Amino acid sequence: MTIDEIEETLLLISEKSNDEGVAVAAFTNLYKSYSKFLNAVISGALKTCGIYDEHLLNTVLSNTFFKLYENPLIFSFPKDAVDDKSFKAWLSVVAKNELKGLIKEYYHSNPSLEESGIETADLVEELSSEVFESTNMKVLSDALNTLSERDRDILLTIYLFHEEGRKTPSDTLDSLCEVHGTTKVNIRKIRERSEKKIIDYITQHTQLKPLKNVK
């Protein structure tokens, strides 16, 4: 994306309280444009630490974009910027800080680690095995990964704007229809099919009991 496109996109997201549908469409476009790049950055950071955990990667990726959605105007281009390199660099810093924050949170929740003299690399291994590699959480992540990119984006967007006892906002549905070139009827079918696929996967691979009648 060009500088102008990114700035316009961030501005549209910042006005989500006025037009949620437009904000969702803008955010989806931004996510599609930079999620692969950020995925590679986080993956590289994890491998540098000596680990690779799909759930941890997805958590950091999701949290980074969620922060951007919540506060899009926190980023601004330097005056001498000529392309999106500074935006990519900023996303990378936010993602890496998110990863460090998760490690730090785990470290402080286990004060005995400091006394034991565990090194950072060992701490990361501990974090991976005890927090982010729990069987159930990995299965949940794997279940989502069985969906196509389109179906996963649609389902996660619907749940992002879900409110207990209320239907999905019409603006959100309109935006999804526009972004994915489909109809509201198909969006409903995709959601139902995706939910069934996830429930079936979870049922087969864990002892978890998925919630029923989630609307």
Helices (H), the chain: 3-14, 20-48, 54-70, 85-108, 112-116, 120-127, 135-145, 149-160, 170-180, 184-205
Q: Which domain holds residue 92?
A: 1-133
Q: Are residues 108 and 15 part of one domain?
A: yes
Q: In terms of domains, do 117 and 186 share one?
A: no
Q: What's the number of domains the chain is made of? A: 2
CA 108 to chain centre: 24
How many other CB atoms are found less than 10 A from the CB of residue 19?
A: 14
Is residue 84 located within the same domain as residue 152? no
Q: Which of 88, 109, 133 is the last residue in one of the domains?
A: 133
Question: What is the maximal distance between C-alpha atoms in the chain?
Answer: 58
Do 103 and 177 lie in a common domain?
no
One domain, residues 86 and 138: no
Is residue 81 helix, strand or coil?
Answer: coil
83 plus 179 within the same structural domain: no
Provide the CATH number for the domain around residue 201. Answer: 1.10.10.10
The Cα 152–Cα 146 span in angstroms is: 9
DSSP state of 117: T
In terms of Cα–Cα distance, which of 129, 94, 131, 125 is closest to 109?
Answer: 131
- Domain final residue, candidates 92, 116, 133: 133
Together in a domain, 24 and 107: yes
Instruction: Select from 104, 133, 162 the last residue of a domain.
Output: 133
Q: Are 198 and 144 in contact (CB under 8 A)?
A: yes
CA atoms within 13 A on the CB side of 8: 8
pLDDT in tens, the chain (215 residues): 999 999 999 999 999 888 888 999 999 999 999 998 988 888 877 776 656 667 778 888 888 998 889 888 888 888 888 889 889 988 888 888 888 777 666 555 555 544 444 444 444 444 444 444 444 556 667 788 888 888 888 888 887 776 667 778 888 888 889 888 999 999 999 999 998 888 888 777 665 555 544 44
User: Are 122 and 152 within one domain?
Assistant: no
**Are 76 and 143 in the same domain?**
no
Judge if 117 and 138 occupy the same domain: no
